[in-house]
């Protein structure tokens, strides 16, 4: 079997997605997600102009050699654009392999290591009362793990809390919006939020929180310590993820488990964090970190240090990535948890899939390959629209990490 054709689909059924379709001379095709929120066209052109011409006529079963060719062979390595493009190819090739062998991809990754994939939902609210109402709503849906974010008194907007009761969607059409930030107000508020949530919902529920890269190491250490009585599953991205050494300070001061890595793209971005046991969960995901071929190696390395996985799973990764993540999560040994932000109706219709949610767990389904498709006719009705993530400034106007 040979790769006969490959094409990039860019569509916007509610938000932008970049999908690579690789077709073989035997009529089998595979899909890969290359979506990079706010920089979609960079990956699309990297794929069309620089990658597709190099993979034509190759054997799609050679996932390792093709991965090495696109990574080592390109001389220029790493970074979100390159790694998302490589990931799209890798995912599509594993999809082809599964379809050709008539088996779900998880069977090619080692087979099932568990019955289902524990997922966490997002609960949020303008204040503590509203956030608690949203926790109750998700509990009623069956979720066993819930991330909680709430508005901060004195700030107009904050990460993870949508305006007007919509599901949270970080990208906004048009140019980037700006909002203001105060670390002091945030640090004073968050322990109160989790004190209330634990008091109201008891000890059984797994609680998570995303600091979204905004603190310094010693500020994060203070927050981690103050959250200790509420036994979080994890405190995510307390500081900017690329500052690996900064996690040492946090670790020395608190037992609150730490997760990071959704913006990281290779083993070289996390190996100090893992080797030094400064984190408990890696957030790297298949789309932004080079696909199955790369993430399996990162997970195996992390497993040696008792670090578990918690793949990033926002709406800005397409259902192709969600399907791929579920195969990965079901198969690897050191799986921790999977993020689940359900896609909107339009997205689900453009990407029909076999995965499903039931009672706090997700299941990839048993369709051969990834079990996800792209309805190209319907996708054509939703053309790309420029969109960006917001930009953040401190109260005095200093540009800050969003
Ligand atoms: O594109 C950025 C989002 O994926 C990110 O803000 C979501 O932090 C995020 C999360 O944990 O899902
Ligand atoms: Mg996050």
Task: Find, among 114, 106, 138, the residue nearest to 125 by Cα.
Answer: 138
Domains of the chain: 3-104 (3.30.390.10), 108-368 (3.20.20.120)
**pLDDT above 90 coverage of the chain, percent:** 97
Q: How far is the CA of 238 from the centre of ligand 2 (A)?
A: 10
- Structure token digits, residue 47: 């794929």
Residue 320: name the closest of 61, 30, 62 by CA.
Answer: 30
In sequence order, the β-bridge partners of residue 209 are: 235
User: What is the maximum alpha-carbon separation in the chain?
Assistant: 61
Atom of ligand 1 minimally distant from the CA of 38: 1
| pLDDT tens digits along 374-386 | 999 999 999 999 9
pLDDT reading at 43 higher than 80: yes
Q: What is the mean pLDDT of residues 295-303?
A: 98
Question: Is the whole model's pTM more than 0.95, yes or no?
Answer: yes
The token pair at 183 is: 């670390």
Query: What is the model's pLDDT at position 317?
Result: 98
Atom of ligand 1 nearest to the CA of 315: 4
State the catalytic residue, choosing from 71, 120, 159, 355.
159
Mean pLDDT score of the chain, rounded to an integer?
A: 97
pLDDT at 250: 98
- Give pairs for 61-66: CB < 8 Å, separation 24+: 61/1, 61/93, 61/97, 61/100, 63/90, 63/93, 63/94, 63/97, 63/292, 63/293, 64/293, 66/90, 66/93
Q: Collapsing DSSP states into helix, strand and coil, what is residue 8?
A: strand
**pLDDT value at residue 191:** 98
Q: What is the pLDDT of residue 17?
A: 98
Please report which confidence band the pLDDT of residue 164 belongs to, taking 50, 70 and 90 as the band edges: confident
Does residue 226 have its Cβ closer than 6 Å to ligand 1? no
Binding site membership of 170 for ligand 1 (Cβ less than 6 Å): yes
Of 41-45, 163-167, 245-249, where does mean pLDDT reach its minimum? 163-167
| pLDDT tens digits along 257-267 | 999 999 999 99
How big is the CA angle at 154 (ends 151 and 159), to the nearest 5 degrees?
35
- For residue 166, pLDDT beyond 80: no
- Regarding the beta carbon of 40 and ligand 1, being less than 6 Å apart is answered no
Give the ligand 1 atom nearest the CA of 122: 12
pLDDT in tens, 352-371: 999 999 999 999 999 999 99
**Least confident residue range of 31-35, 161-165, 321-325:** 161-165
Q: For residue 132, name the pLDDT band (cuts at 50, 70, 90).
A: very high
Query: Per residue in 46-90, pLDDT tens?
Result: 999 999 999 999 999 999 999 999 999 999 999 999 999 999 999
Distances (CA, A) of 281 to 233, 278, 380: 10, 10, 38
CA proximity to 214, closest of 264, 257, 160, 136? 160
pLDDT greater than 90 at residue 169: no
Q: Which residues contact 110 (CB under 8 A, 6 or more apart)?
A: 331, 332, 333
Residue 172: its pLDDT value, please?
A: 86
CA distance 109 to 118: 18
For ligand 1, say whether the CB of 37 is within 6 Å of any of its atoms.
Answer: yes
Residue 165 has pLDDT above 80, yes or no: no
Tens digit of each residue's pLDDT (9 = 90 or more) over 314-347: 999 999 999 999 999 999 999 999 999 999 999 9
Distance separating alpha carbons of residues 372 and 326, to the nearest angstrom: 12
Catalytic residue among 122, 212, 288, 343: 212
Taking the C-alpha atoms of residue 339 and residue 301, their distance in angstroms, rounded to an integer, is 21
Mutation probe of ligand 1 site: the residue of 157, 312, 313, 339 with most atoms within 8 A of C-beta: 312
For the chain, state the CA radius of gyration: 20
322-to-165, 172, 361 alpha-carbon distances in Å = 24, 22, 13
Give the CA distances from residue 105 to residues 16, 109, 130, 221, 362, in Å, rounded to whole numbers and listed in that order: 26, 7, 40, 40, 15
């Amino acid at each position: 079997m040979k790769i006969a054709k490959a094409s990039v689909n860019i569509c916007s059924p509610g938000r932008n997605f970049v999908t690579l379709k690789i077709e073989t001379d035997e009529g089998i095709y595979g899909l890969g997600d290359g979506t990079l929120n706010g920089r979609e066209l960079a990956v699309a052109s990297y794929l069309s102009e620089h990658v597709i011409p190099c993979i034509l006529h190759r054997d799609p079963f050679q996932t390792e050699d093709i991965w090495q060719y696109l990574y080592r062979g390109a001389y220029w390595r790493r970074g979100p654009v390159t790694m998302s493009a490589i990931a799209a190819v890798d995912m599509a090739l594993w999809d082809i392999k599964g379809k050709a062998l008539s088996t779900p991809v998880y069977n090619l990754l080692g087979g099932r290591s568990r019955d289902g994939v524990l997922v966490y939902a997002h609960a949020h609210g303008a204040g503590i009362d509203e956030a608690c109402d949203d926790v109750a709503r998700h509990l009623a849906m069956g979720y066993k793990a819930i991330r909680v974010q709430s508005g901060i008194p004195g700030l107009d907007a904050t990460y993870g809390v949508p305006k007007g009761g919509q599901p949270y969607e970080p990208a906004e059409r048009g140019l980037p919006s700006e909002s203001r930030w105060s670390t002091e107000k945030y640090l004073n508020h968050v322990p109160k939020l989790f004190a209330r949530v634990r008091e109201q919902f008891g000890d059984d529920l797994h609680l998570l929180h995303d600091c979204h890269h905004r603190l310094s190491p010693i500020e994060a250490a203070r927050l981690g310590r103050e959250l200790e009585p509420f036994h979080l599953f994890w405190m995510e991205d307390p500081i900017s993820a690329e500052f690996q050494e900064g996690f040492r300070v946090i670790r020395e001061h608190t037992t609150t488990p730490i997760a990071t890595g959704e913006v990281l793209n290779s083993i070289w971005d996390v190996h100090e964090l893992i080797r030094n046991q400064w984190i408990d969960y890696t957030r790297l995901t298949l789309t932004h970190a080079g696909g199955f071929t790369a993430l399996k190696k990162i997970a195996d390395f992390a497993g040696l240090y008792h670090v578990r996985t918690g793949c990033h799973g926002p709406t800005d990764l397409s259902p192709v990535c969600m399907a791929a993540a579920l195969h990965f999560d079901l198969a690897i040994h050191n799986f921790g948890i999977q993020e689940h932000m359900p896609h909107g109706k339009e997205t689900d219709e453009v990407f029909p899939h076999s995965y499903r949610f039931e009672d706090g767990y997700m299941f990839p389904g048993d369709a051969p390959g990834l079990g996800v498709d792209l309805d190209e006719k319907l996708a054509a009705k939703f053309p790309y629209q420029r969109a960006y993530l917001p930009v953040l400034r401190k109260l005095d106007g200093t540009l800050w990490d969003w």
